[in-house]
Amino acid sequence: MSGPDPAAAELTACRACPRLAAFLEATRARHPAYFCRPVPAFGDPAPRLLIVGLAPGLHGANRTGRPFTGDYAGELLYRTLYEFGYASAPASSAADDGLRLIGCRISNAVKCVPPANKPDNGEIRRCNAWLRAELAGLPADAALLALGQIAHRAVLMALDARAAAHPFAHGACHPVGGRRLYDSYHCSRYNTQTRRLTPDMFRAVFTRIRQEECTCPSSPSSSPAI
Ligand code: SF4
């Protein structure tokens, strides 16, 4: 995204979650050069695809100030985005590395890094106001991709959809709120190293998204949920 973004400026000043604000302060004291603020979304302001992750990584997005940038979780994501024409480069190392997203935007369900990568339910609910605003600003035909169960549930909450009606399942596509919500296991180090999510599995999700960019699927796939 180019130029100052007023919404991003407002977001980075948010301190609505006391536990997360305290964790950011403590992290800043240990790592003065880190970004250590709520991390705004990154990419095309009018995307065809919004990707929603869980939360900034402690030494990734929380360090660099850009989602999935500078840590292991971003490696598979940006490589895959590049392969499918959504990114101008296959790797994302720093906020000033010149990488651009094309028709794609990346955000998180929770904008502040949580201790142990685990936001609590109150934090997820509170931060949902930001996600809700992001979804409301998307083009009408933009698709959504949730990385993992927490992101999936946060997107449903932001769309006022019932979670029970749309169970998470890797590879599924849920028609919800007039949009297509795709699910993938999160591209975390744990999931990729244990091969819960392989590059081919991730690629298959993006293949489907690309194939369906101009159409609306009517039913979810039958992949097993976790
Ligand atoms: S997690 Fe979200 S709501 Fe909570 S302080 Fe950070 S930006 Fe604000």
Atom of ligand 1 nearest to the CA of 129: 3
Q: Which of 126, 128, 132 to mutate to test the pocket of ligand 1 (most atoms within 8 A of CB)?
A: 126
pLDDT category of residue 107 using cuts at 50, 70 and 90? very high
The burial of 6, by beta-carbon neighbours within 10 Å (0-12 exposed, 13-18 middle, 19 or more buried), is given as: exposed
Which pLDDT score, from 0 to 100, does residue 5 have? 72
Q: Could you give the domains of the chain?
A: 6-211 (3.40.470.10)
Q: What does the pLDDT average to over 186-215? A: 94
Instruction: Output the residue whose Cα is nearest ligand 1's atom 3.
Output: 127
The Cα angle at residue 220 between residues 217 and 223, in degrees rounded to 5: 135
Between 221 and 207, residue with greater pLDDT: 207
Q: Which of 130, 150, 157 to mutate to test the pocket of ligand 1 (most atoms within 8 A of CB)?
A: 130
Q: How many CA atoms lie within 13 A of 135 on its CB side?
A: 28
In the reported structure, the alpha carbon of residue 101 is separated from the centroid of ligand 1 by a whole-number distance in angstroms of 24
Residue 79 clears pLDDT 50, i.e. is over it:
yes
CA distances from 26 to 20, 23, 195, 209 (A): 10, 5, 33, 40
The burial of 178, by beta-carbon neighbours within 10 Å (0-12 exposed, 13-18 middle, 19 or more buried), is given as: exposed
Query: Quick check: 127 and 19 in contact, CB under 8 A?
Result: no
Strands 49-53 and 104-108: parallel
CA distance 60 to 47: 23
Give me the percent of the chain exceeding a pLDDT of 70: 92
In the reported structure, the alpha carbon of residue 195 is separated from the centroid of ligand 1 by a whole-number distance in angstroms of 31
Any idea what DSSP says for residue 224? P
In the reported structure, the alpha carbon of residue 208 is separated from the centroid of ligand 1 by a whole-number distance in angstroms of 32
Which pLDDT score, from 0 to 100, does residue 123 have? 98
Q: Which residues line ligand 1 (CB under 6 A)?
A: 11, 14-17, 20-21, 38, 110-112, 123, 126-127, 130
Backbone angles phi, psi at 128, to 5 degrees: -65, -25
Atom of ligand 1 nearest to the CA of 21: 5
Residue 7 clears pLDDT 90, i.e. is over it:
no
pLDDT tens-place string over residues 142-170: 999 999 999 999 999 999 999 999 999 99
Which pLDDT score, from 0 to 100, does residue 4 have? 59
Residue written as token pair 């250590």: 36
Residue 6 clears pLDDT 90, i.e. is over it:
no
pLDDT tens-place string over residues 26-68: 999 999 999 999 999 999 999 999 999 999 999 999 999 999 9
How high does pLDDT run on average in the chain? Answer: 93
Q: What does the pLDDT average to over 60-84? A: 97
pLDDT category of residue 9 using cuts at 50, 70 and 90? confident
Between 203 and 226, residue with greater pLDDT: 203
Backbone angles phi, psi at 99, to 5 degrees: -65, 140
Quote the crossing angle between the two packed helices 149-158 and 121-136, to the nearest 10°.
Answer: 60
Instruction: Output the residue whose Cα is nearest ligand 1's atom 4.
Output: 17
Which pLDDT score, from 0 to 100, does residue 214 have? 62
Which pLDDT score, from 0 to 100, does residue 3 have? 52
